[in-house]
Amino acid sequence: YALQGSRWRVKKLTYKISKYPRILEKSAVDKDVSRAFSVWSEYTDLTFTQKRSGQVHIEIRFERGEHGDGDPFDGPGGTLAHAYFPVYGGDAHFDDSEHWSINSYRGTNLFQVAAHEFGHSLGLSHSDVKSALMAPFYRGYEPNFILDSDDIQGIQALYGQQTLSSSGSESTDTKVNSKTTVPPPGEEDTQLCSDSKIDTMFDSAEGHSYAFKGDHYWKLTTDGIASGYPRLISNSWHGLPGNIDAAFTYKNGKTYFFKGSKYWRYIGKKIDGDYPKDISEGFTGIPDNIDAATVWTGNGKIYFYKGTKFWRFDPAQRPPVKSTYPKLISNWEGIPNNIDAALTYHGYTYFFKGDMYYRFNDRTFSVDVADPAFPRSTAYWWFGC
């Protein structure tokens, strides 16, 4: 990656689309531009807020030919867009002669070009890494776009992941801090602290714990929520919808997500093939619309929970679910029916329901007796509220 030499000194940036393209609906452009900014906010604690009027940090315009900055556009093909580095204002201009498209192999993908241009708006120059977003050449529509590690290193060299102390000035051409800083403990999360009922909770292969709720997700730390969260699920796990029913990471390092009658498989945050698939196809014997799922580290078997019942799934057996299943959750002393989420963590299985959670001891096959007693407040013990 290459840094131009200037960066923003504030982390809360605003933008305005002053002139929309002719061929796309405004609401669709708003959405794609927002998604393009999220590419960068995903790896920093920068935030981008759209304004409709007034002064903003980054102004976005779709223009044709000469448009007042002495750098005229050249019609279809050739130059697609250009943007200004922070020290020059950060504005981004797009050639309105291009056939801009959204989620389509036809035309020029607005999201990818916008994400690239916003890289310039934030201080990144062109990279000589071919796979990087900041490489100068348009490489065609990529439905499963993922930011390259080169881009991540570049943006974090500029902004780290920590709140920068603001001097009040908005841009500077002073030397950048090239160190990537450790995120500070997250502040109390208003959304989770006011309503800590979650959709699912799981550990990634890298050892991070994530909580999903609606369209958002949070990364958990030992102190609560990591800074910079919540984030949009769809911005990190491309192709994955919100309101996920259940998730787990298997011993092969792959993470499985379940919703309704479908499931998705990811390696890290990259989709691992053609998904979604039917649960009945990949997990024969497991019902649709499950409540939660866990992998018991003791035997590597997968447990699915729905309503008053649970199923044990053993990928190594045929059939993978024995005829003796489902069984009643009430067999497990102290665990309620209709749970929201479950997670295997540090040798225990945790069950979440409403605002409370239960710690299940696999050796005694019952909820732990402890002080304070279970169920405990999820908000307090898991989310740092």
Partner 1 sequence: IPVTALSENNAMSYLSQFGYLPPTNPTSGGFITQETMTKAISEFQSFAGLNVTGDLDNETSTLMSLPRCGVKDKVGASSDGRSKR
Residues in contact with partner 1 by CB under 8 A are 4, 68-71, 73, 77-85, 88-89, 91, 98, 108, 113, 116-117, 120, 125-126, 128, 130, 136-138
In 3-state terms, what secondary structure has residue 159? helix
Task: Output the smallest distance, CB 60 to partner 1, in A.
Answer: 14
Nearest to 225 by CA among 244, 198, 249: 198
Catalytic residue among 63, 117, 170, 188: 117
Q: What burial class does residue 196 get, using C-beta atoms within 10 Å of its C-beta: 0-12 exposed, 13-18 middle, 19+ buried?
A: buried
- Side-chain half-sphere CA neighbours of 98 within 13 A: 23
Q: Quick check: is 117 catalytic?
A: yes
d(Cα 347, Cα 142) in Å, to the nearest integer?
40
d(Cα 355, Cα 29) in Å, to the nearest integer?
38
d(Cα 155, Cα 41) in Å, to the nearest integer?
9
CB contact at 8 A, 111 and 145 = yes
Instruction: Identify which of residues 93 and 265 has a Cβ nearer to partner 1 in the complex.
Output: 93
Task: Output the smallest distance, CB 69 to partner 1, in A.
Answer: 5
Instruction: Identify which of residues 116 and 262 has a Cβ nearer to partner 1 in the complex.
Output: 116
Calculate the alpha carbon distances from 146 to 39, 161, 356 in Å: 9, 19, 35
Give the dihedral sign, CA 37/41/46/48.
positive
Stated length of the chain:
385
Pairing assessment for the beta strands 309-313 and 301-306 based on DSSP bridges = antiparallel
In 3-state terms, what secondary structure has residue 356? strand
Task: Output the smallest distance, CB 356 to partner 1, in A.
Answer: 52
Instruction: Identify which of residues 110 and 342 has a Cβ nearer to partner 1 in the complex.
Output: 110
Task: Output the smallest distance, CB 118 to partner 1, in A.
Answer: 11
Task: Output the smallest distance, CB 253 to partner 1, in A.
Answer: 31
- Side-chain half-sphere CA neighbours of 141 within 13 A: 13
Instruction: Identify which of residues 127 and 162 has a Cβ nearer to partner 1 in the complex.
Output: 127
Task: Output the smallest distance, CB 15 to partner 1, in A.
Answer: 16
Instruction: Identify which of residues 124 and 225 has a Cβ nearer to partner 1 in the complex.
Output: 124
CB contact at 8 A, 218 and 257 = no
Instruction: Identify which of residues 125 and 361 has a Cβ nearer to partner 1 in the complex.
Output: 125
What amino acid positions are annotated as catalytic residues?
Answer: 117
